[in-house]
Amino acid sequence: MTDDPFALFGAWMSEAEASELNDPNAMTLATVSAAGRPAARTVLLKAWDERGFVFYSNFESRKAQEIAASGQVALLFHWKSLRRQIRIEGAVAPVDGAQADAYFASRPRVSRLGAWASAQSRPLESREVFEARLDKVEARFPGEDIPRPDFWSGWRVTPDYFEFWQDVKFRLHERLVFRPGAGGWETGLLYP
């Protein structure tokens, strides 16, 4: 048993990257509205280290509104082929502008244009309306130099809870939990 949840996360993520065909970095992001209504959706983990886990999106989206309402989220990585999952809970805050700019610049051109064209989470009259918006943005930014919109950035989840779940036959699963303690991370097991 390790006492470092980030090291264990890294080991499990490396195994997922080696075995999962599509998006081993896909994670369910759970939020809650100001009224207490939960919501979940899949986003992609784009960076992680001992400071936390980073994903990007539109700051005007539903998820952004819910993040602003509570400042807390939950993440879930599920790798069915490995029969593993990791739950992470914690506070969430925007990444700094330089990090967001660097990541945005690394995205494919059409993805950068799409960030400008999308009024994420708001009603869309038709696909043609979105494609027309995309055409206008493409005309506005004809080259590779596409700045990051002010309404698009990333968040960093600073974990205060990890749960590593491993499938065991007959539903006798293993569940290893990490919580912050006085001298670092405290570990424990949970019943399946």
Catalytic residue IDs:
171
Residue type, 108: P
Q: How far apart are CA 109 and CA 123, in angstroms?
A: 25
How many CB atoms neighbour CB 154 within 10 A?
19
DSSP string, 70-83: HSEEEEEEEEGGGT
Q: How far apart are CA 176 and CA 105, in angstroms?
A: 38
Q: How far apart are CA 129 and CA 137, in angstroms?
A: 13
Quick one: 182 exposed, middle or buried, by C-beta within 10 A (0-12, 13-18, 19+)? exposed
**Token code pair at residue 123:** 């009603």
H or E stretch at 18 = helix 5-19
**Token code pair at residue 57:** 């999106």
